[in-house]
Structure 1
Amino acid sequence: MSGVAVVNIPGSKSLTARALFIAACASGDSRLRRPLISDDSEAFTEALASLGHTVRTEGEDWIVTGSSGARPVRKAEVYCRDAGTAARFLPVLAATRNGTYRFDASEQMRRRPMQPLIDALRELGADVVCEGTEGTEGHLPITINACGIKGGHIVLDAGISSQFLTALLMAGPLFTDGLEVEVSKLVSVPYVEMTLAIMREFGAQAFREGNTFHVAPGHYTSRDYSIEPDASTSSYFFAAAAVTGNTVTVNGLGSRSLQGDVRFARILGDMGADVEFTDEHIRVTGTGTLRGLEVNMRDISDTMPTLAAIAPFADAPVRIVDVYNTRVKESDRLAASADNLTRLGIDVRTGEDWIEIHPGTPGPAVIACHGDHRIAMSFSITSLLLSEALQLDDPACVRKTFPHFYDVLTDLVTRWNHKDMATKSFA
């Protein structure tokens, strides 16, 4: 008989970052319930502190000091660690102020592109200086000599990352004339819809009309805001149920979720899993069948490695398309997934924006994590079906979004009564 279990998933990284940003801009103090506690979210709170905001802990909640209670900071060194949200969101917030603000981050984050955001800020009148050596224009470190933003109409390429658009939209109410952004390219649309929804919950006027996004000038109002469990993180546990023939339920996620990555569970349903969505939960049960398919994951690309890691167990090839933007994440996730599948002895092919994985029996291997939490967590699920655990070369990189991932995964398979899985070590 298959095991049945409920898994408690940490708060959404995306919602936590957006709520922190908006709460910092609000007129009073806001309470964020069940935020994500991880390296990324802590980096965000530290960066906010550098800009004069306080985030204090009350039990499982965070209390964020809004703009009315923040101390003015006219000069700051802001270090964002590996956090893409902090590195891409907060320079726009700084540009709305008066002062000099220098942003830097880890070597990994320095490699990730910033040019579309820098171009947009300059078009809006901000003085942005790229401080790296020759050839590093469009990357951190940058210095912003800020004197406020008037706003108006701009054109933005958000085809590499929707975070550039999100940053501008969230700061839009602080611009004197508001903001109108026409996007020439756009990826990860659900993340932008999430941004608009949370902005409106804090009192902003923001909407989309075709390829143009409108934000009225105004202000945010502080509030009590609950963070949903992270849908991207949930994908690992949904995948684990699908490949092992067990059942997992994640409460707090459901058909009304703001997070587009809940669609990953529906993909598992297309592959043969039994999937149940309600307003309050998502439940996935493995049926012993995992069918191959072709799927466009452009808008839920953070879950591409999860699907790639379990694809060898399907009965036909799994082809994932339109995911070029995964090449400019914490690692080149297309290349990293293909490399690790090849190490496992799986027939895999890739192109500029696609990967095709053929059925096979993975063998023992050392997984190259590339310092990427999603690669480490995804291939930990592959390991569940192997007689010998895979070795991860950097298991600790999961701290970025889920420090207790291995403990939670081990507890889950124990409750499924799979003692052979539970005794595996991923280090």
Structure 2
Amino acid sequence: MPVVDIPGSKSLTARALFLAAAADGVTTLRRPLRSDDTEGFAEGLTRLGYRVGRTPDIWQIDGRPQGPPATEADVFCRDGATTARFLPALAATGHGTYRFDASPQMRRRPLLPLTRALRDLGVDLRHEEAEGHHPLTVRAAGVEGGEVTLDAGQSSQYLTALLLLGPLTRRGLRIEVTDLVSAPYVGMTLAMMRAFGVEVRREGDVFVVPSGGYRATTYAIEPDASTAGCFFAAAALTGGEVTVPGLGTGALQGDLAFVDVLRRMGAQVEVGADRTTVRGTGRLDGLTVTMRDISDTMPTLAAIAPFASGPVRIEDVANTRVKECDRLEACAENLRRLGIEVATGPDWIEIRPGRPEPADIKTYGDHRIVMSFAVTGLRVPGITYDDPDCVRKTFPGFHEAFAALRDRLPG
């Protein structure tokens, strides 16, 4: 039975780094993800003046509840959306001038709902070029807090940034949310804030965040559930079996629910206290599924859809159009390159069964596109990628780990 060791969650690592920097004391993170995104986040904290000590499996951060130690900093966020969205909120709690820029890919991704909310709270934040995009400058003088309205229909990260900010404000925050996508990520944020000593109260669409700061702790990072989805899908597609330890019934990450989609398609799934196992049964059924809450796993489902017995229709995934690339169209284009019939709409994709032929996958520099179509490659030898190394964003050793799994799955 192949047991796959998946690196730590990108989402959990980024939140933990913010919380650790904001907490009173020294926080220890166990098994954080080491990838381009998380290294970029840690580097950003260092530029803001925080001490971040890193060994392969343990990171330690000296927290500072009153905001960044540095009074001036220039932070490059690389491709990291969590870095680019969370760190300006953290910087606003300090006293100084902080400039943030990012890669061309990240510069294209939207930021405006968050920066509008920060401005509504009195933060002096200016976009230097395109409104709602990097680069931007924060002239910080602490954040008073109060009431704010937020549209998180494009990304739950906007809400997470404000939630994380709340305890660092002088009066706390009352956040009214008019729309929300990927809601499980917000639940993850609230659970992590609780682990650092803050309890957020939810009243329908309103989140009430108390002031008072965070306390330092020791925090273990779960394996990345979005990445694990590719390995689970590999088992479902090949009729093999894959177990991922560290992801079980108590997991914080909503993307573990992807195994329920595989179950609906015919796979056998066991979710234990501290591990999850998926066994392929030799069949994949077509289905229609809403993936609004687990949209990061949409490309993985799209990549195995041609092998289903009937059409696979994925709905309510408009937000995937503003990820590292337009993932909906990227999946459609690459499936067509493989010879598969595909239709798309504003927030949906429908994939017909077919016999994929080898092709060169256009990755758009998106790690999830590479990882997902690697699963297709288990049944279609000869698939190549125009940028295979973009997996360094979240899993630098992905190709080696997937090749090792391939050798243990049915041919």
TM-score in terms of structure 2 length? 0.98
What percentage of residue pairs aligned between the two structures are identical?
A: 59
Match of 1:360 among 354, 376, 379: 354
Matched residue, 1:204: 198
Matched residue, 1:167: 161
Match of 2:53 among 40, 50, 56: 56
Secondary structure (helix, strand or coil) at the match of 1:415 reads coil
- Aligned length, in residue pairs: 411
Matching of residue 400 in structure 1 with residue 393 in structure 2 = yes
Matched residue, 2:212: 218
Q: What letter is aligned with 1:24? A: A
Matching of residue 308 in structure 1 with residue 308 in structure 2 = no
Matching of residue 82 in structure 1 with residue 79 in structure 2 = yes
Matching of residue 269 in structure 1 with residue 263 in structure 2 = yes
Mind listing any 5+ residue stretches in structure 2 that lack a counterpart?
Answer: none
1:189-200 maps to which residues of 2 (within 5 A)? 189-200=183-194
CA distance, structure 2, for counterparts of residue 416 and residue 131 of structure 1:
51
Match of 2:343 among 331, 339, 349: 349
1:52-131 maps to which residues of 2 (within 5 A)? 52-67=49-64, 72-131=69-128
Mind listing any 5+ residue stretches in structure 1 that lack a counterpart?
Answer: 419-427
Asked whether the 8 Å contact 2:27–2:61 carries over to 1, the reply is yes
Match of 2:5 among 8, 13, 16: 8
Matching of residue 22 in structure 1 with residue 16 in structure 2 = no
Asked whether the 8 Å contact 1:54–1:64 carries over to 2, the reply is yes
Matched residue, 1:35: 32
CA distance, structure 2, for counterparts of residue 69 and residue 109 of structure 1:
28
Q: What letter is aligned with 2:61? A: V
Q: What letter is aligned with 1:200? A: R
Q: Offset at 1:71? A: 7.2
Please report the RMSD computed on the Cα atoms of aligned residues, expressed in angstroms: 1.1
Asked whether the 8 Å contact 1:196–1:207 carries over to 2, the reply is no
Asked whether the 8 Å contact 2:24–2:214 carries over to 1, the reply is yes
Q: Deviations over 1:234-285 (max 9, x none)?
A: 0000000000000000001011110000000111001000000111111000
Secondary structure (helix, strand or coil) at the match of 2:266 reads coil
Asked whether the 8 Å contact 1:52–1:70 carries over to 2, the reply is no
Secondary structure (helix, strand or coil) at the match of 1:5 reads coil
CA distance, structure 2, for counterparts of residue 210 and residue 340 of structure 1:
40
CA distance, structure 1, for counterparts of residue 339 and residue 55 of structure 2:
49
Q: What letter is aligned with 2:74? A: E
Q: What letter is aligned with 1:253? A: L
Q: Deviations over 1:129-188 (max 9, x none)?
A: 1101xxx11100000111111111111000000001100100100000000100000000
CA distance, structure 1, for counterparts of residue 56 and residue 366 of structure 2:
30
Q: Offset at 1:205? A: 2.3
TM-score in terms of structure 1 length? 0.95
CA distance, structure 2, for counterparts of residue 416 and residue 119 of structure 1:
49
Q: Deviations over 1:264-315 (max 9, x none)?
A: 0111001000000111111000000100000000010000000000000000
Matched residue, 2:136: 142
CA distance, structure 2, for counterparts of residue 69 and residue 36 of structure 1:
27
Distance 1:346 1:11, change over 3 A: same
Match of 1:233 among 227, 236, 243: 227
Matching of residue 244 in structure 1 with residue 238 in structure 2 = yes
Relative to structure 2, which stretch is displaced further, 250-259 or 54-63? 54-63
